[in-house]
Amino acid sequence: MDGYVIPKAHYESFSEMSDEIASEVFIHAKMLPLTIHAICQPDGMAHLSDDDFSDAGYNLVKHYKFHVFPRYSNDGIEHKWNRVPDPGDQGRSQLAQSLREALT
């Protein structure tokens, strides 16, 4: 049993939504884990949304949705980040600085 929060207005990505709509999505999504837990008794809960900037097939329906789904110790779901090796404290610090500059 998965739960979804889908805005009525059309948005293809999270960043297209107004702050008000994004807040509403998360307020509604906050209720789903308790309901899913009461019904499914999972070991944990996962939250996922996909923005598909390059049409690579991450988001098969071109409408923003926020997924909330139960996780079980034997569910076989793997999420591999495939990240480069940890750049260390200095590398993370430089990345953080770049992100701060880009946000201003």
**Secondary structure of 75-95 in HEC code, one letter for each residue:** CCCCCCCCCCCCCHHHHHHHH
Q: Is CATH 3.30.428.10 the right assignment for the domain spanning 1-74? A: yes
Q: How far is CA 84 from CA 21, 37, 45, 81, in A?
A: 34, 35, 27, 9
Which tens digits make up the pLDDT trace of 13-41? 999 999 999 999 999 999 899 999 999 99
Q: Is 80 exceeded by the pLDDT of residue 57? A: no
Distance CA 3, CA 38 (A): 13
Question: For residue 32, which amino acid is it?
Answer: L
> What CA–CA distance (Å, rounded) separates 88 from 84?
11
Where along the chain do its domains lie?
A: 1-74
Burial letters 49-65, b for 16+ CB under 10 A, else e = beeeeeeeeebeeeebe
pTM of structure:
0.73
Question: Which whole number is the average pLDDT over 42-52?
Answer: 89
